[in-house]
Chains A and B, each alone.
Chain A
Amino acid sequence: MEDLIVRYVSRIVVPFVQLFGLYVVFHGHLSPGGGFSGGAIIGASMILYALSFNLAAGTKKVSHDLSLILESSGGLIYAGVGLAAIFLGANFLGNKVAGIPLGTPGNLFSSGTIMIITLGVGIKVASTMITLFYSLIEGEQKTDEHC
């Protein structure tokens, strides 16, 4: 389906949606939102891109294999941060107890490892959305027939 308006509007909108998603992810410890919400926004923007152009354009940006790798690495970031706290002598996901400097409250780079955890969750959720869409739309037909 060749729809000029949908293509141009999505081409304009998608970068702003992704920027807002990154904002929500990185301010997860300061403002409403966090890894799940921001990751869902980023994933929805990629799905919108792949749906308004075609599947080949979407897989050119983020391929199916890359989204699978990102999905696993998001979980690994979460587990790695948690296990690093154990190696530092605290409980799983221990933050201040493990001796990590917290910084001044209210700054962007504060609250120790929470930001890294939120980033891992965001990567995981975003790539899960993309993988879900690719697995659903990839079938015997690889054309861009939508509705």
Chain B
Amino acid sequence: MTDLLKYLLLTFLVVCAVSVARTRDLLAAVIIFTAYSLVMAIVWQLLASPDIAITEAAIGAGVTTLLLLAAISKTRRYE
């Protein structure tokens, strides 16, 4: 069961990473990247490193998203 969840999450990570690179809408890319970071935090937790999981959830999903949103609000949305 845990193996199934792990493979599901890893597949989701690969799909997210590919779609971040392929999407043309930068705002959508930022949101997909946030989902990537959240799933990555769960994967870190499954790999028994809660310290990195907290940091990934705070930095990857929180601060990076907000800074990229600020950058998009300064520039334009479409590539």
Expressed in whole angstroms, the Cα–Cα distance for A102 and B54 within the complex equals 27
Residues of A at under 8 Å CB distance from B?
24, 32-34, 36-37, 40-41, 43-44, 47-48, 51, 129, 132-133, 136-137, 139, 145-147
A17's nearest neighbour on chain B, judged by CB, is: B62
**How far apart are the CA atoms of A119 and B49 in the complex, in Å?**
22
Secondary structure call for the B interface:
helix
| Most interface-central of B50, B53, B58, B72 (chain A CB within 10 A) | B58
Contact A51 B55 (CB under 8 A): no
B9 at the binding interface (Cβ < 8 Å): no
- A44 in contact with B73 (CB, 8 Å): no
Contact partner of B66 (CB less than 8 A), chosen from A32, A36, A37, A48, is A48
Closest 6 CB pairs of A and B: A44-B62, A32-B50, A40-B58, A32-B51, A37-B54, A146-B73
Residues A147 and B73 in contact in the complex (CB < 8 Å), given A34-B51, A44-B66: yes
* CB within 8 Å for A133 and B66 given contacts A32-B51, A33-B54: yes
- Chain B residue with Cβ nearest A132: B67
| Shortest Cβ distance from residue A26 to the other chain B in the assembled complex, whole angstroms | 14
Q: A43-B63, A129-B63 are in contact. Are A36 and B55 (CB under 8 A)?
A: yes
> What residues on B are CB-neighbors of A147 within 8 Å?
27, 69, 72-73, 77
Q: Is the CB of B63 within 8 A of A139?
A: no
If A41-B54, A146-B73 are given as contacts, then 6 extra A-B residue pairs at C-beta distance below 8 Å, sorted by A number, are A32-B53, A33-B51, A33-B54, A44-B63, A137-B70, A147-B73
User: B54 to A136, Cβ gap below 8 A?
Assistant: no
- For A132, list chain B residues within 8 Å (CB): 67
